[in-house]
Structure 1
Amino acid sequence: MTKHEQLRAHLEGLIDRELGPDERLPPERDLAEAFGVSRMTVRQALDRLERERRVYRVQGAGTFVARPPIAKTIELTSFTEDMRRRGLAPGSVLRVAELVAAGPDIGFALALSPAGEVLHLERVRTADGIPMCLEHTYLPAALVPGLTTVEGSLYAELHRRYRIRITRAEQSIRATVLDAAAAALLDAPPFSPALLVERTAFDERDRPVERAASTYRGDRYSFEIDVTTAAGPRSGAGRRAGGE
């Protein structure tokens, strides 16, 4: 086994068996001296672990063990359901619940005039008390009279209180970074990687009933997409949309 392979095995052992999430790995200089390699070699090994999302770096503080990322399939499930499937306790902090004018973009998505009234909910979604996602949701106010708070799954609440059942959604996912305000709410470094998920959800009557923009921490969340050929047995696979 080469020195590089020994270093890699040592780092993996620290991550898997000795150190817990958010604990610091030994400094690059100490690792280089212990294994008789250059600091560049150590840095390359840590770079690879960072790409694999097994560690993360904090400028001026060092390299730390990352918490296991949460993988979400592209299907119509709620954040609450996703967390419970993984044995995590879902949580939600409601920051804003207000009636506002839809404006041109939200109005277009929800088939409302720009002056149409929508309910805007801003929530921080958590798993085992750890912030995972900052969510902005817009609902046509006429469809959800009296809705001022949501404890768990919004989709479950819509069905329970208003008999609105979400059946499909159109969704896009793109890479972004956290601005200072979002980073503070998600307990993550400013300008760290994130995933922006924009979604329009429809009910059984194919009415658009939700427009949402959810920002997920890039170090804790990933999306899995099932891709098949056009002649595959599961037509539509890979085009299912996730819900909250």
Structure 2
Amino acid sequence: MTGVTVETGADHPAERGGERGGSGTAKHEALRQALSKMIDDGLAPHEALPSERELMQRFAVSRMTVRRAVERLAQEGRVYRIQGAGTFVADPATISKSLHLTSFSEDIRARRMVPGSRLLQLERTGADMACARDLFVEPGAPLVHIARLRLADDEPMCLENAWLPEAYVPGLVDQGEPDSLYQLLSRAGAAPESADQTIRATVLDSDQARLLEVPPHFPALLMQRITRDARGRAVERAESLYRADRYDFRVTVFRERRP
């Protein structure tokens, strides 16, 4: 890792005092940048990063610093971890979705790609029984429905349908497609904070496949989500259909300790 330096001093006291190096940059952030450069300089997809112990010795930092840096890289989709095996470079051809509540645009930017979208539909509608149940509104209550084809570096990646109570997005239909639904909800005092998500395998019908530029019956991942704000109000019902060859979901699981 020639040319990459993490400024160090007394490592553990610095961490307890805010984990700052001599330059004022948090040590875990400096290490994240160093590891990111290592990946950019030639580590291949699925190649292992050095072990925690090796990184601790090479950069003269603590285990906590290493783990925070690697956690950041995992959140950005640059690496993935296999319990008991180590940390590996993520394949940039695959968009990895963690269980953090993030938007499509945030996922794509984390992969150093440019997000985009093509508006398919934007309309006022009344809540059907499914939307009324999931959004806790009366049947027929005013909603906004937005359907978009989501892009990464101009390549079709996802078909997204979202239904939102119109009270949280007043004027959206007249204003046109927003840059970010989550930012729009935040400005309305309904910032997304949590969500219930269900993910299952499916295949694309001919219309969906045409939009995503793959053959009919191509494998896909269907994510259904109910998003809530800090007050527990349901602010979005969404269905996202991802190309299975370009998107995956990564989780870290732990074995339950039994008496």
Which category of TM-score, normalised to the shorter sequence, fits these structures? Answer: 0.5 to 0.7
Find the partner of 2:109 among 57, 79, 84.
84
- Pairwise CA RMSD: 1.7
Q: Partners in 1 of 2:253 and 2:92 — Cα distance?
A: 27
- Please give the residue correspondences for 1:78-227 in structure 2 after superposition, counting only pairs within 5 Å: 78-148=103-173, 149-160=176-187, 162-227=188-253
1:143 to partner: Cα distance: 2.0
1:143-197 deviation line (CA, Å, top 9, x unaligned) = 211012334331122213x132110000000000001111111111110000000
Q: Partners in 2 of 1:152 and 1:225 — Cα distance?
A: 28
- Please give the residue correspondences for 1:37-48 in structure 2 after superposition, counting only pairs within 5 Å: none
CA contact (8 A) 1:91 1:128 kept: yes
Q: Partners in 1 of 2:119 and 2:185 — Cα distance?
A: 16
CA contact (8 A) 2:197 2:223 kept: yes
CA contact (8 A) 2:200 2:221 kept: yes
* Number of the residue aligned with 2:30: none
User: Structure 1: which 5+ runs fail to align?
Assistant: 1-15, 17-65, 232-244
Please list every run of at least 4 consecutive aligned residues from structure 1 whose deviation after the TM superposition is greater than 6 angstroms: none
Q: Partners in 1 of 2:153 and 2:178 — Cα distance?
A: 15
Q: Partners in 2 of 1:192 and 1:69 — Cα distance?
A: 16
- 2:166 maps to amino acid: A
Percent identity of paired positions between Structure 1 and Structure 2:
45
Q: Partners in 1 of 2:217 and 2:92 — Cα distance?
A: 19
1:101 to partner: Cα distance: 1.3
Evaluate the alpha carbon distance shift between residue 206 and residue 198 of structure 1 in structure 2; reply closer, same or farther with a 3 A threshold: same
Count of matched residue positions in the alignment of Structure 1 and Structure 2? 166
CA contact (8 A) 1:67 1:220 kept: no
Q: Partners in 1 of 2:229 and 2:92 — Cα distance?
A: 36
1:230 to partner: Cα distance: 4.2
Using the size of structure 1 for normalisation, the TM-score is 0.65
RCO (CA 8 Å, sep 6+): is it higher in 1 or 2?
Answer: 1
Q: Partners in 1 of 2:159 and 2:143 — Cα distance?
A: 19
- 2:198 maps to amino acid: S
